[in-house]
Amino acid sequence: MDRVSDGSTINMRNEAPSAESVARRIEKLYPQKGCIEDSVQYVNYFSTIYEVEKNLEPDDEKIKKIFKRYFGYLNKNCKLRHYDEDVLAMEEHFVTGALKRKDITVAKAQNLRNDMRKGEILVDERDGKKYKTVKIGQQVWMAENLNHTLRGSHCYKESAANCRKYGQLYSWEYAIEVCPDGWHLPSVDDFRKLIETIGGKSAGKSLKSTTGWARQDGKDCNGTDDFGFSAQAAGGNFFFGGYGHMTKHTSFWSSTETKSEPAGPGLGDNVWAARMYIGSNDDCNEIVITSAITGYGINEFSVRCVKD
């Protein structure tokens, strides 16, 4: 339990150090002298700062009081923005009891808050496997890598434990067909919309899981997983070199072919893929959309499906 200055207590989720107070965490995230990203900070009050455990529902008056005080603190020291302005308006209503935007009704604010708190569970009828999902902006994404077995899919280094944790690796010819009914392999525009919604350059860090990513030059390369997407460093099976880069890299196939020609005969098509990786010359929190060859079915990457 953490205690704040007025004597109230809240439960913190496991990813937050239990001995660290809410006030101290907020001071670290939102410094007095300017905020991250040129005094503009993307905020989700239900995940970025802290989350309330089930036995202390956000409707509890004590919790509302805590939110209200820190909402004022953040407004005073930072220019607040959110990846979804409707959600920001909703959260302001929740913590202050006021609605400054006339187009957001109390009912709509309540519905938005409920949507943010929990995604639906996707049950793949082909094998009965269940997947968490998350709504980010207007898109609904799988919050876990697909783990549906096909003749042409593989576990990293043929380990069933890796499949359970990271999902299957697929060549592109299988990836374009593997999503369950009602879902599809994202196009490059789907990925670009996701990145733009979350904040562009900062999207890689916000999408990555909070554990499992290796350090680079002493730098912590784990993400913040602000939106529940939980991209893990699943590695891949590469045309040159075979299995590799677990803890340092993940790529998600897109359905979109590029207009460029492959580097040589027999290499197949060039297809866009969204990659998050650690490299000696790269920002370990960067997300890039780049081309990947499909030839011989050897390049195998992860799949995240998006709802139709």
For residue 117, which amino acid is it?
Answer: R
Q: Is the pTM of this model over 0.95?
A: no
Q: Which residues, at least 6 apart from 203, have a Cβ–Cβ distance to it below 8 Å?
A: 194, 195, 287
Average pLDDT over residues 286-303: 72
Kindly tell me if the per-residue pLDDT of 111 is higher than 90: no
pLDDT given at position 90: 52
Kindly tell me if the per-residue pLDDT of 181 is higher than 80: yes
* Beta carbons of 10 and 56 less than 8 angstroms apart: yes
Whose CA is closest to 72, among 63, 80, 81? 80
- Which is it for the CA torsion 114, 39, 285, 291, positive or negative? positive
User: CA separation (Å) from 222 to 33, 152, 177, 217?
Assistant: 26, 31, 31, 13
- Average pLDDT score over the chain: 68
pLDDT tens digits, residue range 205-243? 888 898 999 988 888 888 888 778 999 999 999 877 889
| Range of weakest confidence among 151-155, 165-169, 198-202, 279-283 | 279-283
User: CA separation (Å) from 9 to 21, 49, 71, 196, 227?
Assistant: 10, 15, 17, 36, 25
